[in-house]
Structures are given as structure tokens and as C-alpha cells.
Chain A
């Protein structure tokens, strides 16, 4: 084996020889094998470059990279970055050790050994590598169709999300494996269903009065918000609530700790809902006006509806029991949803009469199929200007100096003053002549919540009923009723997506946030930052200009659609479990090749199964900075640039509202290339035009960067105002159409220069009419983006980006009753409103508990690692050398386990070892495991993922019935102490195949071998 692999050091030494051999590879000058690992050091100065960190990709922390004589020497927080408060975590600070790591990939390589073995990597030229990729893809495509090629992507790395976007079009495949399926994707899925894409993002930086950390610990994860912001917000909030089975790092300070059993979040959320409803703590006006709570359910009728558009431009049929004009009147509109008006008689006295007596309607004809009254109520009076201008500046306490408050329009009352009924039962005659009983959606929601009284929830969650009631009351009771909005949003985080009830659980929160008046309000859940630069995954380099998702005929072939009907609606990912199955079994059709750009097979589905799938592929190309467990099964690996070596526009993915950039500070080493350049190169070689501009079909990266900021302008961005009188709308367009705006910065370099000068911009200032204004469902700004900017909304089809009030859901309301769910799962009425179910392999899974007595939760964030990343960075690994299993000391004592012991953790699907950490902060029957551990020091194929990687323990087939996401938390396991007798090589410490133990102490000399090397640079 050894003779075929070359350490990088020997490589550099032999570089002269291989350089001479370059001719043999037929290399052009462009791809000639580099003779030096790092380009020559230049400059004699020290500069601090303001940039956006991508040590994780979860926050857009503003940092400064200190560059001395052309070499990056340190990363520090940028205090000017209001969104992160100068935060600079361990991972960011350690980035220097990643950039200059001796084990970084520097050259394209091909494998020389069979799969399943140590690959025997051999350096090749870029030309050879890319040609091999194309040859293999073309051959497989010719044989099996484009759908036989899958692409894979990890989580929010921004510039390497091509597998999410353009690659699918290029390769004509609907099959993309995405970490998104297990991470935030479910909430984006659920919120798109019932309110607005990614409405889950909470504006923590505006300092909610009551801060709820639900299943998250952003002080460590920095997801949604930086550690600094989290700590500041939690410390200053009047009330801090932590909902977590573990005592979390900031949770230790909480005023209320809702210490629930893992996986029971929806039950607790519904119990909170119950308390809020019973104590009438909900915002009645919002609920009646902006949710579909008053819409009437008619169980006694065939569901009916209308076609509506999905993201690829194709249509699907809404089929709902919600009562519409078309149900009561022949030729009536299917978009007009009826409500019962409690005030109809009084209105009648004033001369305002409804067409249907006590019933009035809301028109959800958002595409203007019948007329343009869609978005308005029967006879409504509305004016966009008034809807925005009646209000005041937010007055949140504790903002940072200079932080823009934002404008809060008052919640306007109904005009005319209808009072849609939330409660009661009404009789109405259908068009077939039958008189039926109908009830508002609210009654169903209320009934569902009533199934989870605090007493019932106490049984399920293990939290005493009084504590549940107290926390819910604290959240729901407005501390400042004057403000007109709630105490803040709910920061519902990752945990809730990991036990197979994720879509329904997210809906619990979305609705709860809505009815308490915390949707798109200061400190509430606001959705993704909106700015006119292509920052997030919708944008820069991920999508070719003008490109959309693949066409319907391709999407229809998406693997897993039959098993998960809603995936056909959602379309953004293929079910990873089904994709791996297809690779192994050829069912429903052969899946033979893979392009992986930043994904990691260990992150979801059963790892052993996924590994088997990877090993069975005919061809697999991997883009990475490292040798990883996954790319040990690749045929070709391509080296990519590190974040301090590249340029990219960046805006907050969440609600922190920052706009800036990741700025190239140093050159990439050797032949490493920036991801978008590699994809562009692939497009060129495949003759797939990236742009429609003649002569510029394959623009270089500079063009793409210039393009990414061209909509940033001092012109007034286009918007539309509506004026509605007695239900008759007129509209006016304002501002400069997008195609005509004058870019504020002509080039990327100008933008970067301005950024260095100014620092981070506030989206509230950049787009005052959109991000700078709250309650955008009222002003119309929630429906402002058309398909050029916001591909992830209901943006295909026609009636879009029209600035009408409301949401993009089929009913244009925040849906408590989900018409999407109802239409796709007509046989599951229990899912029409938010619901709870037990985690599939939790303690209530039959008799399993006898064999597997402990409930495992997994994945709480390790401060020094990003999932599988950073295990080879000395500063990180020395601070966290081994994976830990947290065990209550009482339980540990029962098992004879002491702190520091290696412990076996086992299910019927696999077993692993982690090190015991005696932690009173977990319940006696719960343990907490760390995820995606592998050992870069292990040279075997897979780099030792088999030893400790946690998702070996899960059932490959346990999935959320809607999103297909894996069962990563809340399942039963058994544990026992690792001893010489029950461990390979007689060593409780995991060892490689030769018996050599992994690095498990911080003084292991192997750590020092990973210190930065600048070899070849000087």
C-alpha cells in the first residue's frame, strides 16, 4: 500500500520530477502541476482584513483575518460586526491551522486500490481529473439516464451548494442528498407549508423580552446567532426559558428549565398552546386576520380546491375540507374561503352586508386566475401606504449602539369591522342542497391542544404540570402590552428535527409564535434576511443566471417521492435513505454515480448502510479540503479552497440582517481551486452554457462576483402599492425595475473596498421597505420577491412578487390547518393541524426498553468541531480529544462506569465506543452521545468511522413520514463498560486495524505533526 501513497512532504521533494512528467499528462500551461505547495509569500506588511467567517457556515460572524507578509497568521472577532458582536469562536480562530495544515488536499487525485481498501491516491492533473469525471458521467448517463447520478451537499457552506441547485440541471438528475434534510430543512419545509419559507429564523439580535431556547444551545452552536449575542440576550432578557433534556451551557442560567424527555417537544409545545389558549393569551386580532383559524372546516364534504404552483413551475391540486364559495355555490370561486362573522348583524345595521349573510370570505386567488381581489376580504378597505405608515419605530431595549430598530406598523383592525368567529359550530347549505355543520379551524386546533393539558404533557414529558403552565404563562403574558406585540419568538432549534415528527413539531412552533403575536415582530420569528445581494444558497454561483430547479419531468423521477408524498411538493431534496438504498439494490432504478461537494455520509441515515452504498458506486467524485471517511470511497478527489482563500458575497442566512462578504486574504495552496470555479469548469467541459450572454457562456469567477452585487443600488428598489376600496383593488408600481437599477458598486473589488471601509451593513438600512419593516404580511413585503431573488418561495407560476398582503401559502394565511398536508395526506386527518407522536424507537417502542433501557439523545454541539470537521486541527483536538457520552452519575454507578472510562453503546443496528462523562445534567435514564466522530490519524479505509460514529446505531428505515429525515435522537440503547475482554486488541481505547490506539490524550505527539507547515512557500 505504502508505495503508492506519498506523504505531502515527499511529494514536495519529488515535485520537480513530477513537474517534468507533467508533459506526459498532456497538461496545458493552465493545469500544469504546480511545483510549490503554496504560492510565493508576498508583501512586507500586516493587514487586518474584514471578512465573513466560514469556520462553520452557520453564522455570518464578522471576523478579521490578520495577514502578515502574505500569510494569514490569526483570526479575531470584528467588533464592528453588530450581528455577531465581535464573536470569534474556537473553530474560527483555529482556521489558520486548517488553511496551513500539512494534510490538506493540494492536488487532484485518483484512486489506485479497490474500493473498501486504503485508496492509494495518486496525483493527477486537473485536465485528467475533469475529463475522467465527464467521461464517467456521460457513460453512466447514456446507460441509465441522468437520474443515475446523484449529487450530495452538506450544510450551508454557501459556495459549494451546487448539488442543491445548478448541478441537478446540468446532470439532469432530481437526486440530491442534502444535510438540509436533517437540518433546518424540515423547518423550512414546514414553514413554507404553513407560513413562509424559513419563517423559523428568529431576530434574536433585537433582544426579545422573553428568550426561549427550545432544543438549541446557540452559545455553542452559534446557529441562528453567535455565542456573544446569545449570552447577551439570555443575560438581559426578563425571562430566559431553556427547553432541553440536558442542562445546557447557557441553560444553566435559565429562569425556567423545561427538562423534557427527549423527543417529546411537540407534546410540550401543544401543552404551551393549550395554556395560551385557555388563558386567552393569544393575539386575537392577528389570529383572526392573518391565520386561517376562522376558516370553516366541513368534514361532511368531499375535499375540493384549485391548482397551485410548486417551485419547478408545475402545478398540484389543493384539496381541502375548508369551506369555499365554490362549495356552496355553483360556479363559486374555489379561492374564496368562508368565515362566520360574529359582527354581521351590527355591520348590516351600518349598511354593510355580506353576500352570504352571516358568512363572509377571504379571497386567496393569489395568481389572479379569476380577478385581482386575491389577498383581500370581501368588501375590504385596505391601503398599502397606511398598512405600513400607521405605526412607530420599534423600541427594543438593549440594542447595540447604532443598531437600527426597524419600523413596526400597527396591526390594523378589520375594515369593515368584521369579527371572524374562532369558536362555535355553524350550519350552512352546500351547493348540493345539503345543510352541513361547519366549525372554525380554531376549534380543531384548540381540541388538539386540549389533548395535551399540562397534566397529560407532564406524563409524556416528565416535567411537572405546574412548571409547564408557569413557563407557558411566562412566555405568553405580554411584559409590555403597550408595544402591541409579543415577548419575542421561540428559538426552536435543531433537536426538534431529529426524532421523526419534525414537520409536525415545527408547525407547533410556527403556529404558537403566530398566535402569540410574535411573527415578524421585533425579537420575533422573522425569516431569512432580505438584501439585494445574492448571499444565501439561492444565490451566488449556486444558480446560473436565469436557471431554476430541474423541470417537472426530471423531478418526477426523484427517488423517494412515492414513499414520501410531500417530497413531491417540496422537491428540494431526494430522500437520502432511498438514494442509498437505490445505489445498493437498483430499486427503483440504478443509482450509479455521485458528485459530492461538502456532504458527509455520516450525518444522516444509517452510516453502515450509507457506506455500503458509497462502496457500491461505479463512479464517485469528491470535492474537499481533506481526506475524509467518505472520500476514501471516491474515484477522484478534487482539492478546494479554504474560506480565507476565496471571495463570496455573504448576508445573514437567518434573521440577524447583516450584509457583507467573505474576502480572499491569501492564495489557495498548490492546485486547490474555489468550488464555483470547478463547477464552472465542469459546465464548460460539458458544453452546458452557464449564461445566455453570447460569448460569455462560461464567465470567470470575477464576473460572477460582479454579478452577485449588481442589484445593490442607491435607486429605490421596485415595489407595488395596493389600494382597495369596498373590495375593489387598484395598484401602482414604484421605484426602478430591477433590470434598470444602477449598481452602487461596479465591481466586486469596489464592493469589498467599501466593506473594508464601512464594515457590515444592516439589512434594515439597505432595504427599509422590506427587512427594515416588521409585519410584512400586512405591508405586502412578505410577497415582494419575485423569482429572480427568492427561489425558495412560491415563486414559480404567475401571481408572485406582487406585494399583496399575506403569505405564499395556498390560503395566503398562516395556516393552522395545513392545506398542503391535507392535500397530500388526505387519509391522515390527525396531521391537518399540528400533532405529536412518540419517537419511533423511544421508550414506548414495544418491549425494546427491556433490552435497551436508556434513551439516547445525540449531537449537542462540540465547541471546537463542526460536525466531522476539525478533528485534525491541533488546537481543536487537544481541547476535545475523544467523543463523550454524558451519563447521570447514579446510572454510571449502576453500570460500574467512572468518568474517563470508555463505554460501549449498542443497538440492534450497531455499536460504538465513547468516553464516559459523568453529568448530573441528564436524567437517570437518558444519555447524550456525540456525533460524526472519525479519526484522521487512522489510515484504514473510512478513517475509523466504524469506531465511534453514532449514526451506526440508528434504524435506517425510521424516518419522518413527511420530510424523510432520520431518527438521530431519542432512541433506546444499551451501554456497558469497555474492558480489555470485550474490546478488540484487548484495548478499551479504539484502535486502528494494526492495533494502534487513536489519539485520546491531549499530549499525544501525533498532534504536533499536524501543526501548520509553510513548506514550499518560502
Chain B
């Protein structure tokens, strides 16, 4: 399938938002980083808005968006609802932070759950029986991705805000999150490798005789050595870079800026490339049409 950039952007920022909100909730529960929560909140809000705008670009009749609430089983509707829930939570956080109140553990817990749920909902809207590469493993991937993106962004905010306590926590979380992300990517790849496609042998579509017909024996081949190899390997290497940066930075709290910068870029690159890969793998079970 062709890469749908609006959706790549949307899901990326959803993971950033949710990862960040999740990380903030963890901080709140830990009682850390009171001062940078507002910045982080703004960052998560901005990310949500960018993601939202991104997804709008994918709609052809965005003026009809309210129709979008029409059908509750649809993934998009659920995403929409999720966005609204997240927006409400952000507002609640905003009010709380503005009021200088202590963030209740309950709110953090709810936010954490909502963030996880939103990631799952997003993943869920791409689960398509028709597309073997878009299986439940997508949930694993997105969760892993949010686990990496949230802490890495938090790390960035902490560095900028020079909050060494949070920086330390964020680096630790980044390490764990990136590792989780790596495992998730590999898990995703492993699940894809089991995908099967309807096989028709030789076939021809009269309307596209100038392109060779598609035959997919194994998605693994595409990932490891085929069209998707660059995206696959580069994104894995990038995650490894994030892990390495975080590992090294653990000893450099207060001076982790360069590592942070590399980690943020590497994490973003890994996230985007892997999403492109997911589109590349987005072959239908039925390849004739």
C-alpha cells in the first residue's frame, strides 16, 4: 500500500502524546518534576493537535467530520472519542496545574489508562483482517513506540528545563522504553512473518499490464531483504542508538543534552520509518485487483 503520510503523522503524534502523558503520570505518581509538568502538558497538547491536523489531511470532506461520530464500532470514531478524552484530561491537568494543586494520584492513574487505551484504540483502527501485516501485533508496536517516544520527549523537556531529577528518571524510562520498543518491533516482525496470502500463481490484470503482478511469499523477506529492508533495519538501528544514548547518559545526568538530542532524533526516525514499513507491508490477502 502507498504510505499514507497523514496517518503516519497522526499515529506518530498520538504515540508522542500518549507516551508523554503516560510518562507525566508516572512522574506525578512519583511526585517528581512539578515545575516542568506544565511544559510537558503543553507539549502533549501541541502534539495532539498536530496529530489531529495530520489526520484531518487524510479526510477528503473534513467539513463532514461530525458524521465521524456516527458509528461507534469504527476505529476512527473510537480514535476521535479518544482524542476528545485526552483533550479533556489535558484540560483537567491544565486546570489542576494552573491551580497549583497537587496532582491527585487518581488523575494520573486515569491518564495513564487513557493514554494506553488511546494507543490501543489507534492501533485497533488499523487492525484489518484483510491485511495480514495489520494484525493485533500493531498494538504491540504502537505501545512499544509510545513507551519509547514519551520518555525520550520527557528527557528532552527535562534537559531543556534543567530538571536533573526528572532527567535521570526520564533517561531510565527511555532506556526501558526503547528496549521495550525494540522488543515490540521484533515481536511485530515475528508476527508478520507468519502472515499468509492467497496464492494465484500466474495472473494478469488487464488494466495494469505494465507492472509486474505482486506475489508475496513471506513478509519477512520484504522486511529483511526486500523493499522494506531499509526502513526495517534503519529503524532497528535507531532504536539501538536510543538505547545506547540512554545507557551512556545515565552516567551523565546534567550533561546529557547531546545524547538526548541524538536519542530524540533517532527515536523519531525509528518511529516514522517503521510506520512507513507498516504501509509497505500492507498487502491485502488478495492481491489480484
The answer to A–B direct touch (Cβ < 8 A) is yes
A interface list, Cβ under 8 A from B:
878-882, 884, 889, 898-902, 915, 917-920, 989, 1000-1002
- CA–CA, A974 to B266, complex, Å? 53
Report B-chain residues with C-beta under 8 Å of the C-beta of A880.
206, 209
Q: When the two chains form their complex, are residues B202 and A915 in contact, meaning their CB atoms are under 8 A apart?
A: no
Report B-chain residues with C-beta under 8 Å of the C-beta of A918.
202, 204
Q: When the two chains form their complex, are residues A915 and B207 in contact, meaning their CB atoms are under 8 A apart?
A: no
Report B-chain residues with C-beta under 8 Å of the C-beta of A902.
210
- CA–CA, A882 to B208, complex, Å? 9
**Most A Cβ at <10 Å: residue of B204, B209, B212, B213:** B209
Closest 6 interchain pairs by CB? Answer: A900-B212, A1002-B207, A899-B212, A900-B211, A898-B212, A900-B210
Report B-chain residues with C-beta under 8 Å of the C-beta of A920.
202
Q: When the two chains form their complex, are residues B208 and A1001 in contact, meaning their CB atoms are under 8 A apart?
A: yes
Q: Which of A878, A881, A919 lies in contact with B210, CB distance below 8 A?
A: A881
Contacts A899-B209, A915-B209, A1002-B207 aside, 8 further interface pairs with beta carbons under 8 A come to A899-B212, A900-B210, A900-B212, A902-B210, A915-B210, A917-B204, A918-B202, A1001-B210
Output the nearest chain A residue to B201 by Cβ-Cβ distance.
A920
Q: When the two chains form their complex, are residues B209 and A882 in contact, meaning their CB atoms are under 8 A apart?
A: yes
Report B-chain residues with C-beta under 8 Å of the C-beta of A898.
212
Report B-chain residues with C-beta under 8 Å of the C-beta of A1001.
208, 210
- CA–CA, A674 to B9, complex, Å? 62
- CA–CA, A899 to B209, complex, Å? 8
- CA–CA, A989 to B211, complex, Å? 12
- CA–CA, A918 to B207, complex, Å? 15
Output the nearest chain A residue to B206 by Cβ-Cβ distance.
A879
Q: When the two chains form their complex, are residues A884 and B212 in contact, meaning their CB atoms are under 8 A apart?
A: no
- 16 A-B pairs with CB atoms under 8 Å apart are A880-B209, A881-B209, A882-B209, A882-B210, A884-B209, A898-B212, A899-B209, A899-B212, A900-B208, A900-B209, A900-B212, A915-B210, A919-B202, A989-B210, A1000-B210, A1002-B208
Report B-chain residues with C-beta under 8 Å of the C-beta of A989.
210
Shortest CB-to-CB span from B38 to chain A, Å, is: 51
Shortest CB-to-CB span from A670 to chain B, Å, is: 33
Shortest CB-to-CB span from A43 to chain B, Å, is: 37
- CA–CA, A549 to B210, complex, Å? 49
Contact with A along B196-225 (1 / 0, CB 8 A): 000000101011111111000000000000
**Most A Cβ at <10 Å: residue of B202, B204, B206, B208:** B206
Q: When the two chains form their complex, are residues A899 and B204 in contact, meaning their CB atoms are under 8 A apart?
A: yes
Output the nearest chain B residue to A878 by Cβ-Cβ distance.
B207
B interface list, Cβ under 8 A from A:
202, 204, 206-213
- CA–CA, A454 to B208, complex, Å? 42
- CA–CA, A989 to B209, complex, Å? 13
- CA–CA, A1000 to B210, complex, Å? 7
Output the nearest chain B residue to A920 by Cβ-Cβ distance.
B202
Output the nearest chain A residue to B207 by Cβ-Cβ distance.
A1002
Shortest CB-to-CB span from A863 to chain B, Å, is: 9
Report A-chain residues with C-beta under 8 Å of the C-beta of B202.
889, 918-920
Report B-chain residues with C-beta under 8 Å of the C-beta of A900.
208-213
- CA–CA, A900 to B210, complex, Å? 4
- CA–CA, A918 to B208, complex, Å? 13
Report B-chain residues with C-beta under 8 Å of the C-beta of A884.
209
Shortest CB-to-CB span from A618 to chain B, Å, is: 42
Report A-chain residues with C-beta under 8 Å of the C-beta of B207.
878-879, 881, 1002
Q: When the two chains form their complex, are residues A899 and B213 in contact, meaning their CB atoms are under 8 A apart?
A: yes
Shortest CB-to-CB span from B56 to chain A, Å, is: 26
Shortest CB-to-CB span from A990 to chain B, Å, is: 11
Report A-chain residues with C-beta under 8 Å of the C-beta of B212.
898-901
Shortest CB-to-CB span from B257 to chain A, Å, is: 49
Report A-chain residues with C-beta under 8 Å of the C-beta of B208.
900, 1001-1002
Shortest CB-to-CB span from A159 to chain B, Å, is: 32
- CA–CA, A878 to B210, complex, Å? 12
Shortest CB-to-CB span from B228 to chain A, Å, is: 20
- CA–CA, A902 to B212, complex, Å? 11
Output the nearest chain A residue to B211 by Cβ-Cβ distance.
A900
- CA–CA, A920 to B213, complex, Å? 15
- CA–CA, A880 to B209, complex, Å? 8
- CA–CA, A530 to B288, complex, Å? 48
Report A-chain residues with C-beta under 8 Å of the C-beta of B211.
900
- CA–CA, A889 to B203, complex, Å? 12
**Most B Cβ at <10 Å: residue of A879, A881, A901, A919:** A881
Shortest CB-to-CB span from A535 to chain B, Å, is: 35
Shortest CB-to-CB span from B216 to chain A, Å, is: 15
- CA–CA, A995 to B209, complex, Å? 22
- CA–CA, A566 to B206, complex, Å? 44
Shortest CB-to-CB span from B82 to chain A, Å, is: 36
Shortest CB-to-CB span from B120 to chain A, Å, is: 37
- CA–CA, A879 to B207, complex, Å? 5
Shortest CB-to-CB span from A429 to chain B, Å, is: 69
- CA–CA, A901 to B212, complex, Å? 8
- CA–CA, A898 to B209, complex, Å? 11
- CA–CA, A139 to B274, complex, Å? 78
Report A-chain residues with C-beta under 8 Å of the C-beta of B206.
879-880
- CA–CA, A622 to B209, complex, Å? 34
- CA–CA, A663 to B91, complex, Å? 75
Shortest CB-to-CB span from A924 to chain B, Å, is: 15
Shortest CB-to-CB span from B205 to chain A, Å, is: 10
Report B-chain residues with C-beta under 8 Å of the C-beta of A917.
204, 209
Report B-chain residues with C-beta under 8 Å of the C-beta of A889.
202
- CA–CA, A919 to B203, complex, Å? 9
Shortest CB-to-CB span from B269 to chain A, Å, is: 33
Report B-chain residues with C-beta under 8 Å of the C-beta of A915.
209-210
- CA–CA, A265 to B45, complex, Å? 78
Output the nearest chain B residue to A918 by Cβ-Cβ distance.
B202
- CA–CA, A42 to B206, complex, Å? 39
Shortest CB-to-CB span from A999 to chain B, Å, is: 11
- CA–CA, A901 to B68, complex, Å? 44
Report B-chain residues with C-beta under 8 Å of the C-beta of A1002.
207-208
Output the nearest chain A residue to B213 by Cβ-Cβ distance.
A899
Shortest CB-to-CB span from B214 to chain A, Å, is: 11
- CA–CA, A57 to B211, complex, Å? 33
Shortest CB-to-CB span from A753 to chain B, Å, is: 41
Shortest CB-to-CB span from A283 to chain B, Å, is: 44
Shortest CB-to-CB span from B270 to chain A, Å, is: 33
- CA–CA, A915 to B212, complex, Å? 11
- CA–CA, A1002 to B210, complex, Å? 10
- CA–CA, A915 to B206, complex, Å? 12
- CA–CA, A445 to B74, complex, Å? 77
- CA–CA, A592 to B176, complex, Å? 90
Report A-chain residues with C-beta under 8 Å of the C-beta of B209.
880-882, 884, 899-900, 915, 917
- CA–CA, A1002 to B211, complex, Å? 12
Shortest CB-to-CB span from B203 to chain A, Å, is: 9
- CA–CA, A915 to B207, complex, Å? 13
Shortest CB-to-CB span from A935 to chain B, Å, is: 14
- CA–CA, A630 to B93, complex, Å? 78
Shortest CB-to-CB span from A1003 to chain B, Å, is: 9
- CA–CA, A898 to B210, complex, Å? 10
Output the nearest chain A residue to B204 by Cβ-Cβ distance.
A917
Output the nearest chain B residue to A883 by Cβ-Cβ distance.
B209
- CA–CA, A899 to B212, complex, Å? 5
Output the nearest chain B residue to A989 by Cβ-Cβ distance.
B210
Report B-chain residues with C-beta under 8 Å of the C-beta of A881.
207, 209-210
